[in-house]
Amino acid sequence: MNKLNKKFWLGIVAAFAFYGIVKVLLTTGVLSDVNQSMLLLIGVNIMLAVSLNLITGITGQFSIGHAGFMSVGAYTSAILTLDYNVPFVPAILAGGLLAAVFGVLIGMPTLRLNGDYLAIATLGFGEIIRIIMLNTEYVGGASGLSGIPAKTTWTMLFLFTLISVVLIHNFIRSTHGRACIAIRENEIAAEAMGINTTRYKIIAFTIGALFAGMAGGLSAHTFYVITPGSFNFLKSFEIIVMVVLGGLGSTAGAIVGAVFVTLLYTFLREFPEWRMIIYSIVLILMMIFRPSGLLGVSKFSFGKFGKKEAKAHDAIKTSSTP
Amino acid sequence: MEYFIQQLINGISVGSIYALIALGYTMVYGIIKLINFAHGDVFMVGSFIGLYSAKYLASAGLPPILVLLLSLMISMTISALLGISIERLAYKPLRKSTRIAALITAIGVSFLLEYTGVLILGPQAKGFPDIMDKKQYHLFGSSIQVESNQIMILLTTIILMLVLQYIVRYTRTGKAMRAVSFDVEAARLMGINVDRTISATFAIGSALAAAAGVIFGMTYNSVDPLMGVMPGLKAFVAAVLGGIGSIPGALVGGLLLGTVETEISSLGFSSWRDGVAFAVLILILIFKPSGLFGKNVREKV
């Protein structure tokens, strides 16, 4: 227990150290505007990846409509700041909360489905949200909302990202998180052990949606403009790729995946016609040769501290396979 | 009433395109439990091969009906080969890995086909040549119009469905396919070459998608590298609607979805059309998760 706490605080200190270094670099002007917007994008993507990891990696519910939650948060917070002059932080929180409400609404009927059917249902919900936005004049229809004040600063983004990572990670380590993992490993066995599987699935869905909504709000206040097209299937898929590339079920993996995909995307922007081709080839090769992701199953840890745990995990795995 | 029937006819011709694509989804899902997201893009490739072969054959001076048949066959053959190679290169190495890895690979292959298409052909839509002259017939002297194209589409679909039904019911490959979809391991023990059967499934599914692509080109006269995305998703909806894994289900699902969509558009809600398709999907999944024709599979403990 003590060791865990030490690791946790070490992580927090490391994160704040990173924040400080970037802050100094930003104020001294070493990092350009392009770099800054990339950093903001990385932060938003980390929130999205970590929140989807809770749904897909931890609870084992395959959702490919995460961008739908993101768009609910983005539109809500943008409208609140544009039309009602709500301050930045409450607007982001409100966006997250409304997305969470959608998470409950979508979760209740569909979580009875499993596997591929759930995936397709969430895809359908994501598309329905997009089409509703597309056909609603109040939110600008196809041209979307523009002139959103760019209020997302590095400090704000850092705090939101850190808080969401810490909260989700602590949730995963709690009794409730263990219940979610049990559902992922074997739903029927979990049910037999007295875990209310539906309830936990809805909880995971709601928390995931909450943070995705906040990430959407933050991204809306970074890039001035949101359109329904920016929250399509492609975006949902990008988030899944982050989670899977990093290693399903690992918070650190989701973070690494988010950073990796964002950097890859930004780098490939210089080759627009080759971008998606290279991206998809990387994806296919990755799935064939390292399907467990960059970090595999290793736990959220810093440096050497995590090694023992990972080894123990491997030992369990190898001993259980005949 | 006549207006309604008119829309029904239009709906059926759109629906047969969905049905042809849905068959590929259903067959592949039935056998390896993979949502082959790249299927919609095989449909796109088929359409482009149809376009170029039709142009070439027409300039060689062949009669229209021969141009149609030959370009259909060329497109179906090449797409079948494409389907087999996709399965061999991308899906086969993943047969033992997780479902999510396979699904992501399928989406990766889909992007690869789409953007290779954009790179080679350019992102603009291309005009599809008029292979046959379009004639309009009036049904029983009423004001209901039927285009020669629509008749041709329905005929092609019905013929292909009958061929498919024959293959699945009466040929060795068909029997092997049914056995593999029932239980892969047992089929292997009985001496069925599972790999070859899966290849055959991909070949047949891709050929049907290619046929749908050619028909789509003839109906809408415009094809582009990203055209496979929406029809692909809709066809998947159709497959789920009918009960995934069931061949008659795919046919009924496709026709139903096409009809519903056309009626929605004709009521003036065409921008909501895609939304309605997905709403139908979710309702079906909630109330009848195994689809209209699907079997209820009990979960094994």
- Which of B97, B108, B240 is nearest residue A120 as measured by Cβ atoms? B240
| Nearest CA distance, B301 vs chain A (angstrom) | 7
Mutate to test the interface with A, among B35, B230, B278 (most CBs of A within 10 A): B278
| Residue contacts between A and B (CB atoms, under 8 Å) | 118
Q: What is the pLDDT of residue B128?
A: 85
Phi/psi of residue B264, nearest 5 degrees: -60, -45
Give the chain A residue nearest B119 (alpha carbons).
A273
Q: Are A63 and A119 in contact (CB under 8 A)?
A: yes
Q: What is the pLDDT of residue B20?
A: 92
Spell out which residues of chain A touch residue B102, defining contact as CB-CB under 8 Å: 287
Question: Quick one: tokens of A199?
Answer: 């309830």
- Which of A121, A237, A279 is nearest residue B282 as measured by Cβ atoms? A121
Mutate to test the interface with A, among B89, B282, B290, B300 (most CBs of A within 10 A): B282
Residue B125: other Cβ atoms inside 10 A? 15
* In the predicted structure, residue B52 carries a pLDDT above the cut 90: yes
Q: What is the pLDDT of residue B298?
A: 52
* In the predicted structure, residue A321 carries a pLDDT above the cut 60: no
Question: Quick one: tokens of B251?
Answer: 């046919």
The whole-number average pLDDT for the span A207-224 is: 92
Output A284 or A313, whichever has higher pLDDT.
Answer: A284
Residue B295: pLDDT band with limits 50, 70, 90: low
CA neighbours closer than 13 Å in the CB half-sphere of residue A247: 13
Spell out which residues of chain A touch residue B301, defining contact as CB-CB under 8 Å: 188
Which tens digit of pLDDT belongs to each residue from A120-177?
Answer: 888 888 888 888 888 888 887 788 888 888 887 888 889 999 999 999 988 998 999 9
Q: Are A60 and A204 in contact (CB under 8 A)?
A: no
Phi/psi of residue B228, nearest 5 degrees: -75, -15
Q: CA A218, A223, A225, A230 torsion: positive or negative?
A: negative
Q: What is the pLDDT of residue A71?
A: 93
Q: What is the pLDDT of residue B134?
A: 75
Lowest-pLDDT range of B83-92, B180-189, B279-288: B279-288
Output B168 or B130, whichever has higher pLDDT.
Answer: B168
* In the predicted structure, residue A298 carries a pLDDT above the cut 50: no
CA neighbours closer than 13 Å in the CB half-sphere of residue A258: 27
DSSP symbols for A207-276: HHHHHHHHHHHHHHTTSS-B-GGGGSHHHHHHHHHHHHHH-TT-HHHHHHHHHHHHHHHHHHTTSHHHHH
Residue A228: other Cβ atoms inside 10 A? 22
Residue A217: pLDDT band with limits 50, 70, 90: very high
Q: What is the pLDDT of residue A313?
A: 45
Spell out which residues of chain A touch residue B103, defining contact as CB-CB under 8 Å: 62, 116, 119
**B56 in contact with chain A, both atoms CB, cutoff 8 A:** no
Angular region, A127: left φ>0, alpha ψ -120 to 50, beta rest: alpha
Are the beta carbons of B278 and A273 separated by less than 8 Å?
Answer: no
H or E segment and range at residue A3 = helix A2-28
Interface of B with A in 15-54 (CB under 8 A): 29, 33, 35
* In the predicted structure, residue B122 carries a pLDDT above the cut 60: yes
Residue B222: pLDDT band with limits 50, 70, 90: confident
Q: What is the pLDDT of residue A69?
A: 93
Output A153 or A66, whichever has higher pLDDT.
Answer: A66
Mutate to test the interface with B, among A110, A116, A118, A233 (most CBs of B within 10 A): A116
Question: Quick one: tokens of B48?
Answer: 């482009």
Q: What is the pLDDT of residue B296?
A: 60
Is 0.80 topped by the overall pTM? yes
**Residues B214, B227: Cα–Cα separation, whole Å:** 12
The whole-number average pLDDT for the span A21-34 is: 78
For chain A, the distance separating the N- and C-terminal CA atoms, rounded to the nearest angstrom, is: 33
Residue A48: pLDDT band with limits 50, 70, 90: very high
Output A303 or A56, whichever has higher pLDDT.
Answer: A56
Output B153 or B1, whichever has higher pLDDT.
Answer: B153
- Which of A131, A276, A284 is nearest residue B105 as measured by Cβ atoms? A284
- Closest C-alpha to A75, from A60, A54, A94, A58: A94
The whole-number average pLDDT for the span B236-243 is: 88
Are the beta carbons of A277 and B119 separated by less than 8 Å?
Answer: yes
Between helix A272-289 and helix A233-246 the angle, nearest 10°, is 40
Q: Is residue A284 helix, strand or coil?
A: helix
Spell out which residues of chain A touch residue B275, defining contact as CB-CB under 8 Å: 127-128, 131-132, 135
